[in-house]
Amino acid sequence: MTFSRPNLILLAGLGSGALMLGALGFQHIAEMPPCKLCIWQRYPHVVAILLAMIGLMVPGRLVPLLGALAALTTAAIG
């Protein structure tokens, strides 16, 4: 796998997607209710996933930078 723009965007989007699947798995399968902070952190991950999908279709740097900002937002919340 080369470090091309689409591959990096896909990797970032899949990373946020994996974190969301893990969080939802703990919540629904393991029956562990999330704390308020965990809920807040989910919103930027969902935005990052959506921006990754948009970034794969739209050329330019703005959408991937917004996706990176969304991922950094969830880190700042934590």
Buried b (16+ CB within 10 A) or exposed e, 59-75: eeeebbebbeebbebbe
* 31 to 7, 10, 12, 27, 53: CA distances (angstroms): 34, 30, 27, 5, 30
Predicted pLDDT of residue 1 = 66
Predicted pLDDT of residue 2 = 81
Q: Which residue ranges of the chain lie beneath pLDDT 70?
A: 1
* 73 to 2, 30, 65: CA distances (angstroms): 27, 27, 12
Q: Which two tokens stand for residue 56?
A: 């794969």
- Predicted TM-score (pTM) of this structure: 0.89
Predicted pLDDT of residue 78 = 85
